[in-house]
Amino acid sequence: SVSWYGVCLGKRGGAGMDSSSSSSAAGLGSVDPQLQHFIEVETQKQRFQQLVHQMTELCWEKCMDKPGPKLDSRAEACFVNCVERFIDTSQFILNRLEQTQKSKPVFSESLS
């Protein structure tokens, strides 16, 4: 869903990516705005793909005992539950990080 997409991007924004990809986009102030927007969109796509890969790997390991020609009802229920818990956890972490950020003073303000 769209809200999950936003959660995924927010969660993986800093910790999951190396800083060179986000800092390179931020250092493009003099570059064409369309190019900068394209880079930001592609970076978001990459973050989303990484998160989907992480979720797929986690749920596959947890739910798939013996791959076969059909997905049995137990494995299907496990996958549904795993994905739902993954989304819930992502949302919880994002909310917790936002609360932590709001409660801490900005570093430059604390120096004055």
| Domain-located, residue 90 | yes
Residue 59 has pLDDT above 60, yes or no: yes
Annotate 3-49 with DSSP letters as a single string. HHHHHHHHHHSSSSS-HHHHHHHHT-TTS-HHHHHHHHHHHHHHHHH
Burial class (CB in 10 A: 0-12, 13-18, 19+), 29: exposed
pLDDT tens sequence across 2-49: 444 444 444 444 444 444 444 454 554 577 889 999 999 999 999 999
Please tell me the total count of domains within the chain: 1
Least confident of 25-34, 48-57, 59-68, 71-80: 25-34
Domain-located, residue 25:
no
Return the pLDDT at 102. Answer: 86
Say which DSSP state 85 is in: H
Provide the whole-model pTM. Answer: 0.54
Residue 108 within a domain? no
In a domain, 39, yes or no: yes
User: Which structural domain, as residue segments, surrounds residue 49?
Assistant: 33-102
CATH number at residue 52: 1.10.287.810
Tell whether 16 is covered by a domain. no
